[in-house]
Chains A and B, each alone.
Chain A
Amino acid sequence: MVEQILFLIIAAFTLLMGLGVVIARNLFHAALFLVGVFFGIAALFILLEAEFLAMAQIIIYIGAIATLIVFAIMLSKGMMGRESGAYNKQWYFAGGAMIFFFGLVSWLLAQMPFVITNASVPDDAIQQIGQGFVGHYVVPFEVASVLLLVALVGAIMLARERNS
């Protein structure tokens, strides 16, 4: 009962923040709303007793990604404090893409057979996740690392001084 109420509060908060991301006229505010969304998702993970995922969510999405987004906005010329409308010439194209993507995700979720059990979260969940990363799922894990490395090298290549 308490969990349902908490879930409703957190879900409403997350959705409101998400709405804020879309309708905020100031890009910086949109980024701050995004932080709120990430917080809501972390809270949902805690509600599911997935503490590790909640902490990873905060470290990666708020500590790194949101900070970098805000930083990029701060460094972009003309983005500081400028109000921009929610619509521009591409709004119908973006709307179409959004409806298609929403339909795709809904269809996928409807297809997905979710297994619901009453089993409690094991005490050594972190150890199991760790062993999964370097055991069964080692290839996707390493591929993701290589992808990030490529992005890192690419960013340096783009930003380097060109004085040959």
Chain B
Amino acid sequence: MDLRALGESFIAMLENWGVPEGWVLLINWLLGAIILLAIALLLAIFLIWFERKVAGRVQDRLGPNRVGPFGLIQPFADAFKLLTKEDITPDSADRITYNLAPIIAVFHIIMLFAVIPFADKVVGANINVGLLYLLAFGALGTMAMLMAGWSSRNKYALLGGFRVVAQLLSYEIPVGLAMLIVVLLSGTMNLNGIAQGQGGAFGLGWYVFVLPAVFILYFVAALAEGERAPFDLLEAESEIVAGYNIEYSAMKFAWFYLAFFLNTWVLSAVAVTLFFGGWQGPFADQFPVLGVVYFFIKVFIMFFVFAWVRATFPRLRIDQMMSFCWKVLVPMGLALFLGVAIVLKLGLPAAITYALLFVVNVVILVATLKLLGNYTKDLSHNKNKRLFAPELPRL
């Protein structure tokens, strides 16, 4: 079954009914938007269950197991509970900003769904600037959290807001660099084009095999962009209680919760599209519907890794996290960018270029790890010194 043909036959049917052309287009777009919205919201409910179950298993607990088979209905029960809870707005809160923040938080994530290619050419909006679009609307999330932190009139919420800016703005740079390197190699910013460029037999064309260090760079930075442990400083319970969303209750809190899980899913989907071939897989060319299946399987594996990391690692300190971004990830990203650009400029045949790119990636990754290792080894002799202590040059 061809998803594309299904859409076209639907358009043809509407035209046969005598619907004017402009309206057909409008109905088509609205339907697409509603389908994407429904997918996003259904996904969120399943993702919450999935993540809780994974975290439970990793930490030797059971996870949700009371409501429905394997506790599958648990998120619905939670949603109903949140719906029936009292909606509290702090007296001194800035009402409009306070109410707008959760809306924007969910809005910007749902907007991101528009450019994700679920299968070949099955995209909400197949725009040429797909990656820039992801970065642009991803940046809106920062604004939503800042609004939430400021309008709550709570000092912990405000501290959470400060951390949002510090963390999300800093980690956007490694994410952007990783995306830029992929754009260098694929020659397009269209997400479907990037997925198409990773054909190759047996998945060897996947960029993760060509650019392993870039994938690791993206993955680590995405952990921070998704506010997930070990980088979940935004809601560090032991330091600032819950961060920017501390004053939110009932459904407004649920919106932030929803945005959090969907954000991780989108980050996984982007990782799959950029590095794991997107919808590519055996026979995906003949049966495009298989592409959707492959895409979702890959994204869920990726999401599982995100959940796994979150359930395993303890939280870093805020200064460690910031230093790690600026002193390790950004230089590594710049070195990778330079290396990849030089190799691509040599103009060698494809196979040799790919091999060289792989070598460059491994060399830079090993060098980064070696330097980091030496640094921590030096520190272990000097017990008083903090890891990644902020040091300013004496001028």
Q: CB within 8 Å of B: which residues of A?
A: 2, 26, 28-29, 32, 35, 51-52, 55-56, 58-59, 62-64, 66-67, 70-71, 74-75, 80-81, 123, 125-126, 160-161, 163-164
Contact = CB atoms under 8 A, between A and B. Distances in A.
Interface stretch (B128-136, B273-281, B290-298): B128-136
A63 B136 contact: yes
B176 to A, nearest CB: 9
Chain B at the A interface: mostly helix, strand, loop or mixed?
helix
Given A32-B97, A126-B128, A126-B189, A67 B150 contact: no
B322 interface: no
B139 A51 contact: no
Interface string B297-334: 00000000000000000000000000000000000000
A59 B128 contact: no
A161 B395 CA distance: 10
Given A28-B150, A51-B127, 16 more contacts: A2-B22, A32-B97, A35-B143, A52-B129, A55-B132, A58-B139, A59-B132, A62-B139, A63-B135, A63-B136, A74-B161, A80-B158, A125-B128, A126-B128, A126-B129, A161-B392
Interface string B193-223: 0000000000000000000000000000000
Interface residues of B, number: 31
Given A32-B97, A51-B129, A164-B394, A67 B158 contact: no
Contacts of B137: 58
B257 interface: no
Contacts of A59: 132, 135-136, 139
Contacts of A55: 129, 132-133, 135-136
Contact of A64 (B94, B139, B147, B394): B139
B150 A74 contact: yes
Nearest to A160: B392
Given A28-B150, A160-B392, A63 B132 contact: no
